[in-house]
Amino acid sequence: MSPIALRRHYASAAAAVAPEATEQPFFPDEPAGPILKTEIPGPQSVKAIEKLGKVFDTRSLNMMANYQRSYGNYIADLDGNVLLDVYAQIASIPVGYNNPTLLLAATSPEMASAIINRPALGNFPQHDWADILESGILKVAPKGLNQVFTGQSGSDANELAYKAAFMWKRQHQRGGAHIDFTDHEISSSMTNQSPGAPELSILSFTSAFHGRLFGSLSTTRSKAIHKLDIPAFDWPQAPFPVCKYPLDQYAAENAAEEQRCLDETERLIKEWHNPPAAVVVEPIQSEGGDNHASPNFFKGLRALTKKHDILFIVDEVQTGVGATGKFWAHEHWGLETPPDMVTFSKKAQTAGYYFGNSELRPNKPYRQFNTWMGDPARAILFRAIIQEIERLNLVENTAVTGQYLYEGLERLAQRYPSEVKNLRGKGQGTFIAWDSPRRDEVLKKAKSVGVNVGGSGATAVRLRPMLIFQKHHADLLLEGLEKIFKS
Amino acid sequence: MSPIALRRHYASAAAAVAPEATEQPFFPDEPAGPILKTEIPGPQSVKAIEKLGKVFDTRSLNMMANYQRSYGNYIADLDGNVLLDVYAQIASIPVGYNNPTLLLAATSPEMASAIINRPALGNFPQHDWADILESGILKVAPKGLNQVFTGQSGSDANELAYKAAFMWKRQHQRGGAHIDFTDHEISSSMTNQSPGAPELSILSFTSAFHGRLFGSLSTTRSKAIHKLDIPAFDWPQAPFPVCKYPLDQYAAENAAEEQRCLDETERLIKEWHNPPAAVVVEPIQSEGGDNHASPNFFKGLRALTKKHDILFIVDEVQTGVGATGKFWAHEHWGLETPPDMVTFSKKAQTAGYYFGNSELRPNKPYRQFNTWMGDPARAILFRAIIQEIERLNLVENTAVTGQYLYEGLERLAQRYPSEVKNLRGKGQGTFIAWDSPRRDEVLKKAKSVGVNVGGSGATAVRLRPMLIFQKHHADLLLEGLEKIFKS
């Protein structure tokens, strides 16, 4: 179905049912609500899944989708079912399926050229790469960070940032950019031995998720199934605060817990046998269970990293690009000095790390380098995403809709206290989660009420709607959840 | 300039000068030869490089390109210069700039959907993912390998393959897929300690290049500048044979050298304190200096890995997709049993690893997983690349043109023996290189005779033309080289 036909197709449905909330819908021709035709997976999906299983591992498959029939906040399957999607490809769809603004960018001559003429950006950048960066990726750079190194995925972004941190730290230890490597460093690096391959580390936190490549996986601590049987670096993990929710009701207890974690972080920075070159942290631990901490905790981390002359890397792969009611979640903290590096991916549909300090450019070329170094096609798409966010004022929207949704969930928590525990994400846009004693059952049942939703950690239901999620979608979600809780 | 206008633009030039060789040109409207208007970089390029340098590291920049004006084998810059490109984005452009077949794929509705609706393939694959794989990536799967795990880059592909190898090896040590993890394995994995994070390794070879992420970089041994200051795993490196060229003239000496390397490989497999779960090798060491070995060496590696119950991973990131006169370079070896995994990227414009043994699917879901798990947009592009390779019979073309080019280079080597040393790549398509005592000067001067060419290792000039490189291009290249040698 062409995008225009697709919008006509759903527009008739939308006209039939007026949205319950009164705000102006961003996409008036979105489906008015979920459409359920069969159980999920239905017969067409079962057949397709079986076919795919022969060549591709389908054991983690959640739902076989038809993206040509998906639109806005709604994901379609092969059997005519259309679900309200508050999981959004693991928090990676920013402005809706088949978004018309993105479609224009995707069908532009410059996109076609970017796809078929993919450059080795470090050697042969295209003539308009500076413009693409400045009018896109760098336009939304966190305050104080005016440079970027582009990459391919969240894991890749974090590993590139770690590499920058190690090179920076060794340069400081050596005495500056002008001091050359010793022969011993050069020869030992080739055999993976110290000092050329230094015994340094990246400090991360319990329950953290930073990716699944060998370096990033060494900083991931969310679930054993991600890590089992994979060799890892002997890097330290500090405790992430186990806070009580809502955060503001337990301010004193949480402050004590956060101080305990900061103290232990400092001890590890000082004493770990492979000293950290950097601390990496997520503003909200996402895969690890939607764990929050207060701005004071993060300010404390920034202070510790300054005090001990190591770097502070903020992993905004999941929290970034508007979902928390700020463009970057770390804007909520009010830091006095910016993080040293901020990594991004997912909703940006491209990846990389921002930085501001030119010392984070290694002292020689080809130290931070690879063939593609990102992807102009995806950078062009991110630019269109940013334009759409600005056009529809979507960061403001997630703040407003998030508050509306949070209040609705608070009411549900009062009515169904055994179903909604530790509701969290107040003031964090639509980045909301709660614990559920029967989490996996809730996720499964959600499909039968027309909602696609995911979990995080062991017990959390996590909401990761797109930035175009509005109050009338929140109403549908709340209704659907109530049906599940009643059942 | 639109692609049609672009072809018209160069067609008039093509008409003016008849190609010297007599074969039918694949793209009759390609430029007839290089066009030189200014020194490189010219004034427009200098300005653009300066602008880019403010936000992006340009110290590795070779040439700022205008891809809208590049066509076929020719890369254009911002000052009107058009060079014959035998470097091709570090061996990553398969069928020419602005290839019309790829342009059709890039402007198709399914490409637009793939760009704007990028799925989390492990959870929500698109309905036609099996078709895209079967009619594309899997259609060219190496013999004996009928499954694929898709990824994002060559480094990523290798690390995914390493992870599969570690999971497979530990499963064998444990006694099978049905044996569950122990509590001790689970808890120790979370703190990056053995046995959960096992003390196993991947064995690679001196001068190897397998990527720059933390795991892949631990197997890379090509240049210290890639590795300095980055922590690495204590993994073993075996010697890669240092052969004499041409290989067939020194068969006996090379066989002895290869046996020495095989013996040392076996010793390391048996004795290294972190035992290897796999051996990884490139069919031709590419970044490390274009180092060749005979089929017997690789057959020996296959035998050793079988004997010691570890896996054999062939890294075809640079050699794969037709450049050696076979679709996969390891087809030259005549192995009795296929490699366990073959990794790919670069000319495939997507990445991943092929495998055939279903034991290489980990025993539980979510062990080999990430958000995107590849990219349908790039898989659709690879399908179009495969169609173009078939339409123009390009694997045969690289074999034929490669032989023609090699013979021309042999003649140059006879005339300029101090300029062309250790010519290599006979019978390996256009995957040809030689050593040059003034390599960097040759690479630089090449631009002044209208050729863009790269190096590998410390002294090699490496040719990596596209698959559409024909005899008349070879003539131009040989003429250009002779001009440099004469100067």
Residue B371 annotated among the catalytic residues of the structure: yes
- For chain A (487 residues), the mean pLDDT of every run of 10, in chain order, is 62 47 86 97 97 93 97 98 98 98 97 97 95 97 97 97 98 95 98 98 98 98 97 98 93 97 98 98 97 97 98 98 98 98 98 96 94 96 98 98 98 97 97 97 97 96 98 98 95
Count other C-beta atoms under 10 Å from residue B87's C-beta.
Answer: 27
Give the pLDDT of residue A7.
61
Give the integer Cα–Cα distance in Å for B222 and B205: 9
Domains and CATH numbers, chain A: 1-14+32-79 (3.90.1150.10), 110-390 (3.40.640.10), 393-461+472-487 (3.90.1150.10)
| CB contact (8 A) between residue B214 and residue A213 | yes
Helix (H) or strand (E) holding B223: none
Q: Are strands B432-435 and B421-424 parallel, antiparallel or unpaired?
A: antiparallel
Among A119, A142, A147, residue whose Cα is nearest residue A378: A119
Q: Are strands A451-452 and A82-85 parallel, antiparallel or unpaired?
A: parallel
Which residues, in sequence order, are CB contacts of A174 under 8 Å at separation 6+?
none
| CB contact (8 A) between residue B156 and residue A154 | no
Which residues, in sequence order, are CB contacts of B117 under 8 Å at separation 6+?
A67, A70, A93, A97, A98, B126
Q: Which positions in chain B touch A66 (Cβ < 8 Å)?
A: 126-127
Rg (CA), chain A: 23
Among A299, A307, A368, A308, residue whose Cα is nearest residue A339: A299
Residue B85 annotated among the catalytic residues of the structure: no
Q: Which positions in chain A touch B345 (Cβ < 8 Å)?
A: 371
Mutate to test the interface with B, among A228, A372, A453 (most CBs of B within 10 A): A228
Q: Which positions in chain A touch B214 (Cβ < 8 Å)?
A: 159, 162, 213-216, 218, 233
Which member of B156, B315, B375, B435 is catalytic?
B315
Spell out the per-residue pLDDT of chain B, length 487, in tens: 565 666 666 654 444 444 444 689 999 999 999 999 999 999 999 999 999 999 899 999 999 999 999 999 999 999 999 999 999 999 999 999 999 999 999 999 999 999 999 999 999 999 999 999 999 999 999 999 999 999 999 999 999 999 999 999 999 999 999 999 999 999 999 999 999 999 999 999 999 999 999 999 999 999 999 999 999 999 999 999 999 999 889 999 999 999 999 999 999 999 999 999 999 999 999 999 999 999 999 999 999 999 999 999 999 999 999 999 999 999 999 999 999 999 999 999 999 999 999 999 999 999 999 999 999 999 999 999 999 999 999 999 999 999 999 999 999 999 999 999 999 999 999 999 999 999 999 999 999 999 999 999 999 999 999 999 999 999 999 999 999 999 8
Give the integer Cα–Cα distance in Å for A203 and A218: 10
Give the pLDDT of residue A3.
57
CB pairs under 8 A between A and B: 374
Measured in residues, chain A has a length of 487
Give the integer Cα–Cα distance in Å for A426 and A406: 6
Q: Positive or negative CA dihedral for A321, A324, A327, A333?
A: negative
- For tokens 């300005």, name the residue: B47
| CB contact (8 A) between residue A90 and residue B149 | no
Taking CA atoms, B462 is separated from A189, B290, B304, B439, B443, in Å, by 25, 7, 31, 10, 10
Give the pLDDT of residue B393.
98
Mutate to test the interface with A, among B46, B77, B115 (most CBs of A within 10 A): B115
Q: Is omega for the bond preceding B365 within 30 degrees of 0, making it cis?
A: no
Q: Which of B89, B148, B371 sits opposite A124 (nearest CB)?
A: B89
Give the integer Cα–Cα distance in Å for A352 and A364: 20
Q: Which positions in chain A touch B63 (Cβ < 8 Å)?
A: 123-124
| CB contact (8 A) between residue A371 and residue B89 | yes
Mutate to test the interface with B, among A229, A235, A358 (most CBs of B within 10 A): A229
Which residues, in sequence order, are CB contacts of B57 under 8 Å at separation 6+?
A122, A149, A361, A365, A368
Which member of B26, B27, B166, B209 is catalytic?
B209
Q: Which of A98, A118, A123 sits opposite B117 (nearest CB)?
A: A98
Give the integer Cα–Cα distance in Å for B45 and B163: 43
DSSP assignment string, B121-156: TTTS-BTTHHHHHHTTGGGGPPTT--EEEEESSHHH
Q: Which of B124, B134, B152 sits opposite A153 (nearest CB)?
A: B152
Identity (one letter) of the amino acid at B348?
A
Contacts by residues A185-189 (CB-CB < 8 Å, ≥ 24 positions apart)? A185/B228, A186/B224, A186/B228, A187/B224, A189/B224, A189/B227, A189/B228, A189/B229, A189/B230, A189/B232
| CB contact (8 A) between residue A156 and residue B154 | no
Residue A346 annotated among the catalytic residues of the structure: yes
Rg (CA), chain B: 23
| CB contact (8 A) between residue B226 and residue A124 | no
Which member of A315, A340, A375, A435 is catalytic?
A315
Among B250, B342, B337, B265, residue whose Cα is nearest residue B297: B265
Which residues, in sequence order, are CB contacts of A474 under 8 Å at separation 6+?
A21, A401, A404, A405, A408
Question: Chain A residue with minimal CA distance to B89?
Answer: A120
Give the integer Cα–Cα distance in Å for A396 and B335: 61
Question: Chain A residue with minimal CA distance to B163?
Answer: A230
| CB contact (8 A) between residue B213 and residue A218 | no
Q: Which positions in chain B touch A366 (Cβ < 8 Å)?
A: 60, 225-226
Give the integer Cα–Cα distance in Å for A389 and A384: 9
Burial of A191 (0-12, 13-18, 19+ CB in 10 A): middle
**From the CA of B177, how many Å to the nearest CA of chain A?**
13
Check residue B71 and report its DSSP letter. B
Identity (one letter) of the amino acid at A234?
D
Among A140, A141, A144, A138, residue whose Cα is nearest residue A336: A144
Residue A321 half-sphere exposure, CB side, CA atoms within 13 Å?
Answer: 32
Provide the Cα torsion A400, A403, A404, A405; round to 10°: 120
Q: Which positions in chain A touch B162 (Cβ < 8 Å)?
A: 214
Question: Chain B residue with minimal CA distance to A152?
Answer: B152
Give the integer Cα–Cα distance in Å for A150 and A381: 14
> Residue A347, by phi and psi: left (phi above 0), alpha (psi -120 to 50) or beta?
alpha
| CB contact (8 A) between residue A185 and residue B228 | yes
Residue pair A236/A276 in contact by the 8 Å Cβ criterion: yes
Give the pLDDT of residue A15.
44
Question: Chain B residue with minimal CA distance to A53?
Answer: B130
Which residues, in sequence order, are CB contacts of B303 under 8 Å at separation 6+?
none
**From the CA of B103, how many Å to the nearest CA of chain A?**
7
Residue A209 annotated among the catalytic residues of the structure: yes
- What order of strands is seen across the sheet that includes strand B201-205? B147-151, B351-355, B341-344, B311-315, B276-281, B201-205, B237-238
Count other C-beta atoms under 10 Å from residue B247's C-beta.
Answer: 18
Q: What is the ipTM, given to two decimal places? A: 0.95
CA angle B319, B321, B327 (to 5 degrees): 95
Q: Which residues pair with B205 in a beta bridge?
A: B238
Give the integer Cα–Cα distance in Å for B242 and A26: 65
Q: Which of A106, A127, A364 sits opposite B78 (nearest CB)?
A: A127
Give the pLDDT of residue A23.
84
| CB contact (8 A) between residue A231 and residue B200 | yes
Mutate to test the interface with A, among B2, B117, B152, B187 (most CBs of A within 10 A): B117
| CB contact (8 A) between residue A212 and residue B93 | no
Question: Chain B residue with minimal CA distance to A77?
Answer: B127
Q: Which positions in chain A touch B119 (Cβ < 8 Å)?
A: 65, 67, 89
- For tokens 């057949």, name the residue: A47
Question: Chain A residue with minimal CA distance to B167?
Answer: A229
Q: Can you give the three-state secondary structure of chain A, one letter per residue?
A: CCHHHHHHHHHHHHHHCCCCCCCCCCCCCCCCCCECCCCCCCHHHHHHHHHHHCCCCCCCCCCCEEEEEEEECEEEECCCCEEEECCHHHHCCCCCECCHHHHHHHCCHHHHHHHHCCCCCCCCCECCHHHHHHCCHHHHCCCCCCEEEEECCHHHHHHHHHHHHHHHHHHHHHCCCCCCCCHHHHHHHHCCCCCCCCCCEEEEECCCCCCCCHHHHHHCCCCHHHHCCCCCCCCCEECCCCCCCCHHHHHHHHHHHHHHHHHHHHHHHHHCCCCEEEEEECCCECCCCCECCCHHHHHHHHHHHHHCCCEEEEECCCCCCCCCCCCCHHHHHCCCCCCCEEEECHHHCCEEEEECCHHHCCCCCCCCCCCCCCCHHHHHHHHHHHHHHHHCCHHHHHHHHHHHHHHHHHHHHHHCCCCCEEEECCCCCCCEEEECCCHHHHHHHHHHCCEECEEECCCEEEECCCCCCCHHHHHHHHHHHHHHHHC
| CB contact (8 A) between residue A214 and residue B233 | yes
Q: Which residues pair with A463 in a beta bridge?
A: A432
